[in-house]
Structure 1
Amino acid sequence: MESYGGRRRQAERDAITVEIGYALFSAAFAAAVLFGAIAGPAFVFDVSDGARGTLVSVGATVAVLLFFARVVSVLTRFRQASQPNQPGRTNPDS
């Protein structure tokens, strides 16, 4: 995103900001859906307190792991996509 140590342009900073926002929002949404899928039955059905605690803790753990994995994957993909093309290769956007 930088051209030979120069400063980033406003458009590049805006793109980074939007990508970070997208990564956080999509990760939070996916984590919430997964947490609801795992821990939801503990609140809908009549289960013991031990089972409820286990489902909630497993759901929270998996949701946190999914959140961080999603953020890292989105931001890594954005960074790789913003790299300049290899010399001698065609640009698919041309």
Structure 2
Amino acid sequence: MSGHGERRRSQAERDAITVEIGYALFSAAFAAAVLFGAVAGPALLFELPSVAEKLSLRAGLVLAPVVFAVRVVSVLVRFRGGGQPSQPGRTSPDS
């Protein structure tokens, strides 16, 4: 599996990947929960007309997983593409 020019990752690289995955999942769950609360919250807290309540709950149930997935992908793609500065102690030019 590690034949085509792949190199073994150092422990620091593996740790950085683990932290980034954890951050992506946590921030995505938080964003999805906030969105669900904003969209479906009024239907849960207040007495709304039946149609508005159903629409609000369904919109929250549809949008929350979409936001979760988009957030996870965007964080992980940014991590993969960003990399580290070329020299220790220096910031990359686009930061």
Structure 1 segment 48-59 matched on structure 2, within 5 A? 48-59=49-60
TM-aligned CA deviation for residue 84 of structure 1: 8.0
1:51 CA drift (Å): 2.2
Where do residues 1-94 of structure 1 align in structure 2 (5 Å cutoff)? Answer: 4-82=5-83, 92-93=91-92
User: Identity of paired residues, percent?
Assistant: 59
Number of aligned positions between the proteins? 85
| AA partner of residue 13 (structure 1) | R
The one-letter amino acid paired with 2:48 is V
Corresponding residue SS for 1:14? helix
Q: Structure 1 stretches (4+) deviating beyond 3 angstroms? A: none
Question: Is the 2:36–2:61 Cα contact (8 Å) retained in structure 1?
Answer: yes
CA distance in 2, matches of 1:83, 1:55: 42
Q: Please report the TM-score for the alignment, with normalisation by the length of structure 1.
A: 0.80
State the AA in 2 paired with 1:52: E
TM-superposed CA distance for 1:49, in Å, is: 3.1
Structure 2: gaps of 5 or more residues: none
> 1:41-80, CA deviations, whole angstroms, 9 ceiling, x for partnerless residues?
0122211333222111101111111110000000000000
TM-score normalised over the length of structure 2: 0.79
Counterpart secondary structure, 1:5: coil
In structure 1, the gaps of 5 or more residues are 86-90
One-letter amino acid of the structure 1 residue matched with residue 51 of structure 2: G
